[in-house]
Structure 1
Amino acid sequence: MSFEHDMIETDAAKTNGAGTRRFAGRQVLALGTFDSFLRTSVVVGRMFEAEGATLRIAVLAAAGKTAQLSDRQLREGGVNHTVPMVSAETLVRSKLFRDSDVVVAVVDGGRARELFLALNASDLARGKRRPLVAIASPGLALTEHLAGYMSRAPADVLCFNAEGERALYEEAASEIGVDPSNAAVTGLLSVDRRRRPAPAASRGPIVFFEQPVIPARKMQRTHLLAGLVDVARGRPGVDVLIKLRHSKSETAHHEARFHLEDLAKNLFARTAQPANLRFTHENAYTLMDRASLVVTVSSTVAVEAMARGIPTRIVSDFGISEALGTSYFVGSGCFSPLAGLSPDMKDVTRRPWLEARSGAAAEPEALLGRCATLLAEQESLGHALPLRPLAPAYGSAGFVAYALGIGGPVAVHAPHLLDRPMRGLTFIGAVASRLRQVGSIRRQKP
């Protein structure tokens, strides 16, 4: 596979505001999986590009996905050309990866494990140099915090949105012996913090930003849609726009089981759709620039809107819970039921919460400076920096070796797949393999 077609050049590659070019002559690979993941990796990649690096872009393929990103999703991610989509193993073997100095990976936990397993199995650590792997977040870390952190723990630089998240990682790491020195608090690096243009004289729309599986249940999503319909009917002079995360033909990290457009067909078969309520795929930032009010359940867009001074509300109809991600916004002062929404609502975001706990206060230098230091260290050594170990973040050394012996990398990054009927490996065979593994470990002891 050729990767030569995905090189891009922009004016940002000249210098940043300070005129520094500390990454001149370096190659940076922005690596993403799904829509927001790729967008964030490109945003971060352009920070390196602004300091002289050459930026290239690739998509890390997810199992079973043949078309992870549509042309529209690529455009929204700041990519206007074709990019390669490859598996972790293929990527790590490629010239694209090996020629990179820094890989900015914004990937889900499964793909992170695939990437580090492939990197660990490669010969890169034995060479004169290897790419540094920095992992950033595509948005708010709403659930499964520690599982996500440990999936990404072998990164050279692991970015956190807020100090509290780093502290949780460091505390968990100390319990099992993971080295937490790769942690860096960077904030949400992709958040646009520019103050929006002065609103037009006419009243802007109420914009609801949908999430595919928050809430996940049909009853909850139907209530959500019905509540927005009531808002539109109660304010016929104001547009109510529902910004869909993806169309029914597009792929996302979490795909909606009950797509709002399907629910709308059923709802509007019984009652007329308000003329001022519409679904849209318009660019999120364009919508925020026009909105009188931004509404969501727990999307990252809420922090982006708050950071830009746009009146924002978190839907409280389903209560506050970790499962919905609404717990993240406790302290923001922005909760409201659907029935209380109005285009006249003010910006009531509590600034101390926004600055200290939301991730809106970005610190790109925490990433850029760390990468510059590690690159210099590698060059002074004259050989590749050692890879951070998979164990104990992925389990004990004994378990990781056992899992790899039983099912290869898939047994580590997706062990649930081994619960399906095994071909050519019976339960007795699995036990025998485990005993052979234990015997091998014992024989290696001094």
Structure 2
Amino acid sequence: MVSERKDAGPEAGKTKAGGRFAGRQVLALGTFDSFLRTAVVIGRMFEQQGATLKIAALAAAGQKAQLSDRQLKAGGIHENVPMVSAETLVKSRLFRDSAVVIAVIDGGRARELFLSLNASDLAREKSRPILAIASPGLALAEHLAGYMSRAPADILCFNAPGERAQYVEAAGEIGVDPSNAIVTGLLGLDRRPRAPSAAARPSIVFFEQPVIPPRRMQRNHLLAGLTDVARGRPDVDVLIKLRHAKGETVHHEARFHFEDIARKLFSRGGQPANLRFTHEPAPELLERASLAVTVSSTVAVEAMARGVPTRIVSDFGISEALGTAYFVGSGCFAPLSGLSPDMPDVTRRTWLDERSGASTDPEALLGRCAELIGRQDELGAALPMRSLAPAYGSAGFVAYALGIGGPVAVHAPHLLDKPMRGVTFIGSVAARLRQARVIRQRRKP
């Protein structure tokens, strides 16, 4: 559990009297930092309509320090945040007393949660939480796999109409009921128009991603290119917003952390005085940025929505793997060598409004939740849960997998192969050692 925080903000726990969710409890559930931040932002929307907001983190397997105090504070979270497994959460009053659970969780945790719900006895309750799943950011890869992991939700929020259409089409192929799909846009996006900048110096802010691009060579090129920009424009501050601090846990941990790359790069030519790394929250950086730059981060859409001139790094081309394909049509691609704080806002509004996820519709979620709560109240019993099949496989396969390995066989079937792989590896090493001994014996005079 995250330790108790002493710096609770003035807005923490505030609930408006009245409102369509008055007297209801809403649980904001996340996994990693950006996930939990988005869940809380959405939860505050319910809080503003009368709900009491609770916050919890869904524990990821093997993660002991999933959320640091710095990460919580940067996300505007001042409440205590218990960290629990899916199985423990589903059994808890924190979960069962909630009218709505806003889950912003990765695909693995979604499967764990729905498998735990499938094994629970919520059908005996007079009511159960309405479970809505939203996205923490842009859906850049494994779209259909991610959608199907979350398909058993009562409400499945999509960033853009095209993504919902993709889910509906795939659902129709195998018989998944797509009526839970709604388009809300990126509900965690900060769309406030930024105040006129009072910064004394122009600034270029690069927003780093831990594994995009993934290769050391590519990340070397990024930092070297930004360093060249800083050296070429000593009158400009070049800020590199790091995704996480060394030792912190995130959904995708950096294999080649920029601070490690910097030590080697700057040992040869020194670090320019006008280039520095920062952990300041993205919204604060966007307030004063002359230019926002990234490869494919969600913050690019936020910058565009707030009117900040934005550029997508084109040095590595356009590909689905890097997420740059998402920005085709934005008009914002540029090479590192051409970056300047004087670059204008060239975002194509049609792309931004129709395809980026920047156009948000909270009422689509709020209204659907109120509708399902009302339906459950009229019924006087818990609404039936959506089936795991066929989103997780045919009914026959799901039953077979659960029978031979329990939930892990559905959630993470690769784990069932590990003992066999281990035996094979050990056997292989043993065979090589035996072969080496035979060779040595043959060489003896």
After TM superposition, the score normalised by the length of structure 1 is 0.91
- Partners of 1:401 and 1:409 in 2: how far apart? 10
Structure 1: how far apart are the matches of 2:223 and 2:409?
40
1:333 aligns with 2:331: yes
Residue 349 (structure 1) shift = 0.3
Partner of 2:438: none
Paired with 1:259 and 1:314, the residues of 2 have a C-alpha distance of: 20
How many residues align structurally?
422
228 and 403 in structure 1: CA distance in 2 versus 1, 3 angstrom threshold: same
Residue 234 of structure 1: aligned partner: 232
User: C-alpha distance in 2, partners of 1:125/1:312?
Assistant: 49
Give the equivalent residue in structure 1 for 2:68.
70
3-state SS of paired residue (2:178): coil
Q: Secondary structure at the match of 1:13?
A: coil
CA RMSD of aligned residues (A): 2.2
The residue type equivalent to 2:285 in the other structure is L
Equivalent-residue separation in structure 2 for 1:3 and 1:198 (angstroms): 38
CA drift of 1:111 comes to 0.1
TM-score of the two chains, using structure 2 as the length reference: 0.92
State how far apart, in whole Å, the 2-side matches of 1:57 and 1:204 are: 38
Contact 1:140-1:300 at 8 Å conserved across structures:
yes
Quote how far apart the aligned CAs of 1:2 are. Answer: 13
Aligned partners of 1:380, 1:2: CA distance in 2, in Å? 38
Match of 1:429 in 2: none
Is 1:90 the counterpart of 2:88? The answer is yes
Q: Return the match for 2:15 from 3, 13, 16.
A: 13
Give, as a single letter, the amino acid of the residue that structure 2 aligns with 1:121: A
Q: 1:36-57 CA distances to partner (integer Å, 9 max, x unpaired)?
A: 1000000000000000000000
SS of residue in 1 equivalent to 2:206: strand
| Deviation for aligned residue 1:202 | 2.7
Q: Is the 8 A contact 2:55 2:79 kept in 1?
A: no
Answer yes or no: is 1:193 the counterpart of 2:191. Answer: yes
CA distance in 2, matches of 1:422, 1:384: 42
Structure 2 letter corresponding to 1:14: K
Give the deviation of 1:77 after TM superposition.
1.8
SS at match of 1:306: helix
Unaligned ranges ≥5, structure 1:
427-446
Q: Following superposition of structure 1 onto structure 2, how do residues 401-412 of structure 1 map, counting pairs within 5 Å? A: 401-412=399-410
Greater Rg over alpha carbons, structure: 2
Q: Decide which of 401, 416, 419 is 1:418's aligned counterpart.
A: 416
Amino acid at match of 2:344: K
**8 A Cα contact 1:232 1:277, kept in partner:** yes
Q: Which residue identity lines up with residue 247 of structure 1 in the other structure?
A: A
2-structure distance, mates of 1:265, 1:40: 33
Q: CA–CA distance in 2 between the matches of 1:233 and 1:33?
A: 39
Structure-2 residue corresponding to 1:430: none
- For residues 34 and 400 of structure 2, what CA distance do their matches in structure 1 show? 35
Q: Partner of 1:317: helix, strand, or coil?
A: coil
Residue of structure 1 equivalent to 2:273:
275
Instruction: Give the distance between the partners of 2:141 and 2:340, measured in 1 at CA.
Output: 30
Aligned counterpart in structure 1 of residue 121 of structure 2, from 123, 129, 151: 123
Instruction: Give the whole-Å Cα distance in 2 for the aligned partners of 1:201 and 1:103.
Output: 41
Q: How far off is 1:13 after superposition?
A: 2.2
Helix, strand or coil at the partner of 2:263:
helix
CA contact (8 A) 2:226 2:238 kept: yes
Q: Partner letter of residue 337 of structure 1?
A: P
Match among 124, 143, 146 for residue 144 of structure 2 = 146
CA distance in 2, matches of 1:288, 1:71: 23
**Distance (Å, rounded) in 2 between the aligned partners of 1:201 and 1:5:** 32
Among 381, 403, 428, the alignment partner of 2:379 is 381
Q: Measure the CA separation in 1 of the matches of 2:4 and 2:388.
A: 31
State the Cα distance separating 1:405 from its structure 2 match. Answer: 1.4
Confirm or deny: 8 A CA contact 1:3 1:96 kept in the other structure: no
Contact 1:206 1:295 (8 Å CA) reproduced: yes
CA separation of 1:141 and 1:372: change in aligned 2, threshold 3 A = same
Q: In 1, distance between residues paired with 2:233 and 2:304?
A: 24
**Deviations 1:151-208, CA, capped at 9 Å, x for gaps:** 0000000000000000000000000000000001000001111110001263331000
Give the 5 Å matches for 1:22-37.
22-37=20-35
